[in-house]
Structure 1
Amino acid sequence: MLKLKRILQLLAAGVSQREISNKVGISRSSITAYKERADSSGKSYQELLQMSDSDVVSVLQRKDYRPGKDARYDKLEPLLKDYSHDITQNRSTYECLWEEYLKLHPEGYGYTRFKAYIQGYIKSHHYSYHNVYAPGFEMQVDFAGDKLNLIDRKTGLITEVVVLCCILPYSSIAFIMALYNATQECFYYGLSKALSYFGGIPESVKSDNMRQWVIRSDRYEPTFSESTMQWSVHYDTELVATRPVHPKDKAPVEGLVNKTYQFVYSRIRNEEYETLDSLNARIFELTGEFNGRNMTGRTYSRMELFEKEEKPLLKPLPAEPFMLKHRKEFLVPSSYHVQIGKERHSYSVPYQYVNQKATVVFDQESVEVYVGFNRVAIHRRDLKANGYTTEPSHMPENHRAYQKSREYNAAYYLGQARHIGPNTTTVIERILTSQPFIQQAYRSSQGILSLTRKYPAERIEAACGRACGTTAAVSYTAIKRILELKLDTEQVNTCSSHIPLHENLRGASSFE
């Protein structure tokens, strides 16, 4: 538009068309066309300059002018709406649509131009509404699509864990936490942790139509699950569900998921974690760093905005956090362990209650076992699948002794042998080095040390000394046999044997 007006100014000043072409960077043929249209309008150049921009364009522009388009576009234009809808809904591909288009119009556009027109149509008909969020009004929640891993360094077993993302849209403050799974039990535990992190409760909490949140989707009256209602009542907050298949209804938390990939996942991608607590400690560290950084184009951080304008408007937290509790009644089995949860983890009960009725009450953090009205056991919840949590005091004496024996190693046996004496230490050392695998010698070593319950240490030391002096191969059976036959009390004849002199025997001198 500015060039058109500049052309009129130069024409009014009597500048030649060649010079005008050089000054405005437009071809002389175009300058000639503009001059002819201006002259045929019946108005002077000054009058044209006083007209509005749209009127000047209507005078100087060609009536059938369409930038970059030709007659083929007239046939494509009615199809663009349907083609764009198929692309945005992932119902077809550009190549497939182009082939259909050529069947209708063989003289039509090539693939590249055809694709460009569809993309242009999509962009020109894509409208984004800018939501304005009130401070302290809403918290949005969602799970990240990609999971993280825990690695058992002993077995190499990899366990996938989910990541919960929560955000207060006004300040954009974020809470990110890894959970063993996305069940209701873990989900509401994570939401409660988010509210504790924010230090207050917003007026409403919004999620999509995940099964943990909604049992029947509806745009106007969704039906929330019983557990969701319990959690809502506990924290006195309103429940909101997005429209089905409308992720933009919770755009801030969708954006947080992408930022989680960029800021958290990228920084821990080369790190290994064995426990959920250690993984979450790292995630919380990075979340604090993320919330403390200045937002793009602003001089303050999410945390600063939250502390100043949003946190004072949050409702106070209840005295106790919400815990989704479960009850299970059972008969204490002979293994004195009870198995709970989808992870099928087992927890010990005092062996004295075997074959008695008991009740276990468990939540995300703890497991309590009651017999009658008495609590007989309490454990920290462990979500490791098919694992065992055993309190040693719950085991019978012989089970504790057996378990302790399995924990012994070569250093233990050598240390116990040194308390008896050097000969015993030598015997244990020979036994430990006599087997291809050292674990195979533990039983023999344990047997020799167990002889102290029947014989005094002095006799065992003497028996080990006799065994070392008479044979290179020592064993538990040999030491035990020496003690039973009381050979340890006999003096070993250490005199070397000799051949007596005789006239029929020649000496060494005979062979010189």
Structure 2
Amino acid sequence: MVRKIRAKLVLQLRAEGLSGRAIAGSQAMSRKSVTQVLEAADAAGLGWDDVKDRADSEVYGLLFPGRGDHDSVFAQPDWKAIHKEMARVGVTLKLLHGEYADECAAAGDPAMSYDRFCRTYQRHVLVTGAASRVGHKAAQTIEVDWSGPTMQLHTGADKPKTVYLFVACLPFSRYAFVHPSLDMSQDSWLRAHVAMFTAFGGSTPRIVPDNLKTGVITHPRDGEIVLNDAYREMAAHYSAAVLPGRIRAPKDKASVENTVGHVATWVIAGLRDRRFTSLPTLTAAIEERVCAYNAEPFQKRPGSRLSVFTTEEEPLLTPLPQVAYEISQWIYGRRVA
């Protein structure tokens, strides 16, 4: 069914040089549907430059005017409001359908069944290009990790100093944070978290790191996870719990894994021709590049990481404590006289 085909995406991929067969194979679309989109675009004289600034639903309407339009006998809810409510904790389509049915009963309007409500909502998500709410609720999780690619600091010594990048991401909005450090010690790990919470302006109930030793002592397949005391204390200070991803399970923190790759392009590659001699100067340049990354418009739907964060996620973050966390050192095995 062509209505479910991402017509704008098809035109974008063709502009990038992909054939109809390649588009169908890479996007799991039928070749017939892709051909219909391309033929409709050619007949209308539309190319990627003509539609790149338009919404997915608008592009589909230009290529197939009137197709799929019909007057429903059922009262239609505000699907944008439904989609926004789905971002909130504990909200499900079942709950929203019940509220919709109550409103219809009060107004004397016919209400659609739960199954039709769900199908129509999914169609709204497909046609408008909205992000899926499955698995991600706003202001519930922060994923953190060290970036594999590094940078360099030229301080006048014979050998440049290696700069490591701490990367954090809010999976719901994909809003990112990057903090440079001269090492990957426990203190640097904790300082990066403090800077992250300050930049976000709030915290979340869950922090999902990798199983690095600066945060997690042991993570057995069966049994209790043992966290570093200082890391656990820092998380508690910000009303958060540390829930490390499973070993060899990158999908447990897929958002930050994906962001690390983007950071390599936006930050490291974007600053490759600049020579930095001090960490504050490098930090300021990184912040500028990350701000540009967060403000970059989405390719497949309206808005940006920044707009989704400020309008939907930031208001739901847990307020920060009045005093920032102060790093402490935990020493074991010392004999007291």
**What do the CA deviations read for 1:252-300 (whole angstroms, capped 9, x no partner)?**
0000000001111111112111111111100000001111111121220
Question: Which portions of structure 1, spanning 4 or more consecutive aligned residues, are displaced by more than 4 angstroms?
Answer: none
Structure number with higher relative contact order (C-alpha < 8 Å, ≥ 6 residues apart): 2
2:260 is aligned to 257
**What do the CA deviations read for 1:40-85 (whole angstroms, capped 9, x no partner)?**
xxxxxxxxxxxxxxxxxxxxxxxxxxxxxxxxxxxxxxxxxxxxxx
Looking at structure 2, the residues matched to 244 and 149 of structure 1 have their Cα atoms a distance apart, in angstroms, of 30
1:227 aligned onto 2:230? yes
Looking at structure 2, the residues matched to 131 and 213 of structure 1 have their Cα atoms a distance apart, in angstroms, of 28
Looking at structure 2, the residues matched to 194 and 293 of structure 1 have their Cα atoms a distance apart, in angstroms, of 20
Looking at structure 1, the residues matched to 134 and 155 of structure 2 have their Cα atoms a distance apart, in angstroms, of 45
Looking at structure 2, the residues matched to 327 and 205 of structure 1 have their Cα atoms a distance apart, in angstroms, of 21
Give the alignment partner of residue 244 of structure 1, picking from 221, 242, 247.
247
The 5-angstrom pairing of residues 215-364 of structure 1 reads: 215-219=217-221, 221-326=224-329
Helix, strand or coil at the partner of 1:322: coil
1:146 aligned onto 2:128? no
2:209 is aligned to 207
Structure 2: 5+ residue stretches without partners: 1-131, 332-337
- Kindly, what percent of the aligned residue pairs are identical? 26
Asked whether the 8 Å contact 1:140–1:207 carries over to 2, the reply is yes
Which amino acid letter does the alignment assign opposite residue 194 of structure 1?
A: M
Looking at structure 1, the residues matched to 236 and 300 of structure 2 have their Cα atoms a distance apart, in angstroms, of 39
Q: CA deviation at 1:162?
A: 0.7
User: Looking at CA atoms only, which structure, 1 or 2, has the larger radius of gyration?
Assistant: 1
Give the alignment partner of residue 194 of structure 2, picking from 192, 195, 199.
192
Asked whether the 8 Å contact 2:155–2:277 carries over to 1, the reply is yes
Looking at structure 2, the residues matched to 148 and 276 of structure 1 have their Cα atoms a distance apart, in angstroms, of 11
**What do the CA deviations read for 1:202-239 (whole angstroms, capped 9, x no partner)?**
11100111101110112453111111111122111111
Helix, strand or coil at the partner of 1:140: strand
1:135 aligned onto 2:126? no
Structure 1: 5+ residue stretches without partners: 1-128, 329-512
For residues 274 and 172 of structure 1, do their structure 2 counterparts lie closer, same or farther at Cα, with a shift above 3 Å needed? same
Asked whether the 8 Å contact 2:204–2:239 carries over to 1, the reply is no
- Of 229-238 and 216-225, more deviation after overlay is shown by 216-225
Helix, strand or coil at the partner of 1:273: coil
For residues 327 and 250 of structure 1, do their structure 2 counterparts lie closer, same or farther at Cα, with a shift above 3 Å needed? closer
Give the alignment partner of residue 178 of structure 1, picking from 180, 190, 206.
180
Which amino acid letter does the alignment assign opposite residue 149 of structure 1?
A: Q
Q: CA deviation at 1:326?
A: 4.7
Looking at structure 2, the residues matched to 315 and 189 of structure 1 have their Cα atoms a distance apart, in angstroms, of 19
Asked whether the 8 Å contact 2:206–2:242 carries over to 1, the reply is yes
Aligned length: 199
Q: CA deviation at 1:152?
A: 1.6
The 5-angstrom pairing of residues 361-372 of structure 1 reads: none
The 5-angstrom pairing of residues 384-463 of structure 1 reads: none
Looking at structure 2, the residues matched to 130 and 309 of structure 1 have their Cα atoms a distance apart, in angstroms, of 12
The two structures have a TM-score, normalised by structure 2, of: 0.57
Which amino acid letter does the alignment assign opposite residue 163 of structure 2?
A: V
Which amino acid letter does the alignment assign opposite residue 152 of structure 1?
A: T
The two structures have a TM-score, normalised by structure 1, of: 0.38
**What do the CA deviations read for 1:378-410 (whole angstroms, capped 9, x no partner)?**
xxxxxxxxxxxxxxxxxxxxxxxxxxxxxxxxx
Looking at structure 1, the residues matched to 234 and 308 of structure 2 have their Cα atoms a distance apart, in angstroms, of 28
1:51 is aligned to none
